[in-house]
Structure 1
Amino acid sequence: MDIVTLLSTDRIVCERELSSKKRAFEKLAALLSHEGHEDGFENEAVFNALIAREKLGSTALGNGIVLPHASLRVSYAKAALLLLDESIDMDTPDKKPVHLLLALIVPKGQAESYQPLLSELAIVLNRKGLAKSLLELGEPELILSYLSSLFEQKIAA
């Protein structure tokens, strides 16, 4: 499993600015929720799960990147990417403001099987200037293609 499997262009958003971490997590929850689908779950459930996980300890990687994640009653894992032109302040190890949030939800009871994926995401995404590069691309299709190439480079290395 890689970023292309988890992410789709309809779950990639570039925003000029959001006022807070709470607003960013609300946006991610909206992107990840499937209200009305057979495996549907509510926006609020996704938001609460992401916030609950964040309260256990920051999911910030540094370099302006945060990787919030949670387990929910979903049939498959999926991700949403939020890129911010104007950063937000979060509890990051390097004290840098956040421009990139990649949220991941995985099926309940299977979180441990996704640990290698989380580690891989952290390695591939934790690079200086990534958020800026992605924002410059601007289009979800281009962003997904670029992220895919980063994962392919890691696999080839």
Structure 2
Amino acid sequence: MNLSNIIRPEHTLIGLSVTTKWRALQAISEKAGKAFGIDSQTVLKALESREKLGSTGIGNGIAVPHAAIDGMTSPRGMLIRFAQPLDFDAIDDIPTDIAFVLLFGENNRGEYLNVLAAIARRLQSEGVLAAMRKARSVDEFYSDFIADLRV
């Protein structure tokens, strides 16, 4: 499976202007609803429920909001850079500036875990995060992350 089939260039954005984690989840839900043709309130409820179990702020300025959505047949994702870092209740207390949003069906949990592992491996590659943070365009931001990445 190619991660670029899950997180596509057209589902990537930079400069999302929000001030709190909860506003971020609202904005993400609206964008995901439009991008994937699903109800944004369903996405929001699922993301909020997951976030209440524990923060998806994994540290180093990264969050991975994720949730199972009824009716989804394959994992879908978005890649977002916020206009300003925000408090995502991350484990290291570093404000979050990049979010990887993952939505999946109940039957795709195993596949979803593979996607998370691939994201983690890529972010450990030297220079990837720094390049993503310096990217001046959506295309550059996406390319800095996705380059030669396979799940």
TM range (shorter): 0.7 to 0.9
Cα distance change on mapping 1:57 and 1:76 into 2, 3 Å? same
Q: Is contact 2:75-2:111 (8 Å) kept?
A: no
Any idea what SS the aligned residue of 1:58 has? Answer: coil
CA, structure 1 residues 29+127, in 2 after alignment: closer, same or farther (shift >3 Å)?
farther
Out of 124-133 and 59-68, give the one that drifted further. Answer: 124-133
Q: Output the TM-score relative to the length of structure 2.
A: 0.84
| Contact 1:99–1:131 under 8 Å retained in 2 | no
2:47–2:65 contact (8 Å) kept in structure 1 = yes
**Which residue is equivalent to 2:75?**
77
Partner residue of 1:45 out of 29, 42, 46: 42
Residue in structure 1 matched with residue 104 of structure 2 by the alignment:
106
Aligned-pair CA distance for 1:85: 3.4
Aligned residues: 150
Pairs within 5 Å for 1:1-157: 1-15=1-15, 17-34=17-34, 40-72=37-69, 73-125=71-123, 133-149=131-147, 151=149
Residue 20 of structure 1 and its aligned partner are, at CA, apart by: 0.8
C-alpha separation between the residues in 1 aligned to 2:121 and 2:26?
A: 25
**TM-score, normalization by structure 1:** 0.81
Q: Give, in angstroms, the shift of residue 75 of structure 1.
A: 2.4
Deviates more, 1:50-59 or 1:11-20: 11-20
Q: Percent identity?
A: 23
Alpha-carbon displacement from aligned partner over 1:11-41 (angstroms, at most 9, x marks no partner): 2111263111112112211221148x8xx32
Superposed displacement of residue 94, structure 1: 1.1
Letter of the 1:78 partner, please give it: R
- Structure 2: gaps spanning 5 or more residues: none
- Compute the displacement of 1:76 (Å): 2.1
CA RMSD of aligned residues (A): 2.5
Q: From the superposition, tell whether residues 52 and 137 of structure 1 become closer, same or farther in structure 2 (CA, over 3 Å).
A: same
C-alpha contact (below 8 Å) 2:88/2:95 kept by paired residues: yes
